[in-house]
Homo-oligomer: A and B are copies of this chain.
Amino acid sequence: MGNLAACCRSFWCKPKNPDIRISLPAVCFVWQIAMIILFGLFVYPSEAINYDTINGLYNLFEHFDVHVMIFVGFGFLMTFLKRYSFGGVGFNFLIAAFGLQWALLMQGWFHSLDPNDGLIKIGIENIINADFCVAGCLIAYGALLGKVSPVQLMVLTLFGITLFAVEEYIILNVLHVRDAGGSMVIHTFGAYYGLTISWILYRPKLDQSKNLSGSVYHSDVFAMIGTLFLWMYWPSFNSAIADHGDGQHRAAINTYLALAASVLTTFAISSLSAKKGKLDMVHIQNATLAGGVAMGTAAEFMISPYGSLIVGFVCGIISTFGYLVITPFMEKYLKIQDTCGIHNLHAMPGVLGGVVGAITAATASESVYGHEGLVNTFDFEGNYAKRTPATQGGFQAAGLCVALAFGIVGGAIVGFILRLPCCWGDPSDENCFDDEVYWELPEDEESIPPILEYSSHMVGKNTDMM
């Protein structure tokens, strides 16, 4: 019995070896080659595509706002750690670049397959949807930032995109739920997926890395680049695939208002909670975005401007409160270590957004939306022509449960896989949050010769110049 335990321990708890020289190149090469083959087999060749037809109302340049959010927004938001900025923005770049290829295929199989020849046509809407799909995985990365290897992140992304595509198909197509900005499909799923993985990969001795788990002055300013680009373009995110026309405009304006309200309540709670009212950059970087998350479902509904402000108001409070109380609680008692606090920024506002969406849908009426508005907003056509708003509200709630279930069960499975004693290359507990493990770091700033003395010194030393 003691032997078995020892054996188990030696099986599960091998000393960490963060060498990824074989595993990372292998994963990148093999998977990229797989992508090329799959694209060759399943994606329409260029000649057969008439883009005007498949893009419809989508403007070619419309997807860039969402693209900026994925690469600069999420990427720089994760540079806040004092010595993990390379990993934050760099691995974000890697998994997004892989994820979008796999998402084009997965979502293509579910949504854009030509029934005649089984091929996928890639247009602007597919690119936007791939970005959405990637967002789910990047949210999950937020919980794990600094604690996993890039190889683990690639696996997380492979499974995350796969789960996302299935979950999205069930929620949007089978249940016929509306979720244009993805409160449920993206944020709830992504957050619980990441949190569950983090729970399974719990590191009891993580405090050995605590000298690197904070920020420095300039890394916090870098993170604000991410915050601001996310904040500014969020209206675009929530409205990108909403019903073009009125629905899209409504989604953009409602999101815009909710975000503005979140900023004020975030500042208020952050100041209220600290001695002398000092603000905490972590709150400003994150909780100011909560209103956008929570409007993901309801933005395109007729929640009204003041309703959007209320949602943003509440979410700024809840999210900041989460950073103050819930994250430490989860780490201490639930053994969930959440580096970026995605529980506060994505999980809680995402669930809230799903609930708000369900309520708003259930209370929709023909007198408010007009008959045509109701049909357009909820797509009550074809098989769903007879669905009532009340029923739709129920289905919206069911969609939220599906997102939660996929996040938690999927996260458990993937977390278990990532714990398998394989050559994952993840860092030991005392090397977390440290770019040194995966990056050739430049020598320290201190080695720069002092500026003021430099030139004269050098001139003095090199008097034998030609």
Q: Contact between B306 and A93 (Cβ–Cβ < 8 Å)?
A: no
Which of A138-146, A266-274, A335-343, A380-388 touches B? A266-274
Closest to A83 in B: B448
The residues of B that contact A446 with a CB separation of less than 8 Å are 450
Q: Contact between B221 and A222 (Cβ–Cβ < 8 Å)?
A: yes
The residues of B that contact A284 with a CB separation of less than 8 Å are 90, 93
The residues of B that contact A429 with a CB separation of less than 8 Å are 465
Q: Does A52 make an interface contact (CB < 8 A)? A: yes
A259, chain B: closest CB distance, angstroms: 8
Partner of A228, one of B28, B71, B94: B71
Q: Does A117 make an interface contact (CB < 8 A)? A: no
Q: How many copies does the complex hold?
A: 3
Q: Does A173 make an interface contact (CB < 8 A)? A: no
Q: Contact between B466 and A9 (Cβ–Cβ < 8 Å)?
A: yes
B-contact 0/1 string along A83-98, CB 8 Å cutoff: 1011001100110011
Contacting B at CB under 8 A, from A22-71, are 22-25, 28-29, 31-33, 35-37, 39-40, 43-47, 49-52, 55, 59-62, 64-65, 67-68, 71
Q: Contact between A271 and B21 (Cβ–Cβ < 8 Å)?
A: yes
Partner of A45, one of B208, B220, B302: B302
Which of A185-193, A326-334, A348-356, A437-445 touches B? A437-445
A393, chain B: closest CB distance, angstroms: 17
- Given A51-B249, A64-B232, 6 other A-B contacts at CB below 8 A? A21-B271, A35-B261, A39-B309, A45-B302, A46-B301, A214-B443
Provide a sorted-by-A list of 23 A–B residue pairs whose CB atoms are within 8 angstroms: A20-B276, A21-B274, A25-B271, A25-B277, A28-B267, A39-B306, A45-B305, A47-B368, A59-B61, A61-B62, A67-B232, A82-B445, A122-B253, A127-B253, A205-B465, A212-B448, A216-B444, A218-B445, A430-B459, A431-B458, A436-B451, A445-B445, A446-B450
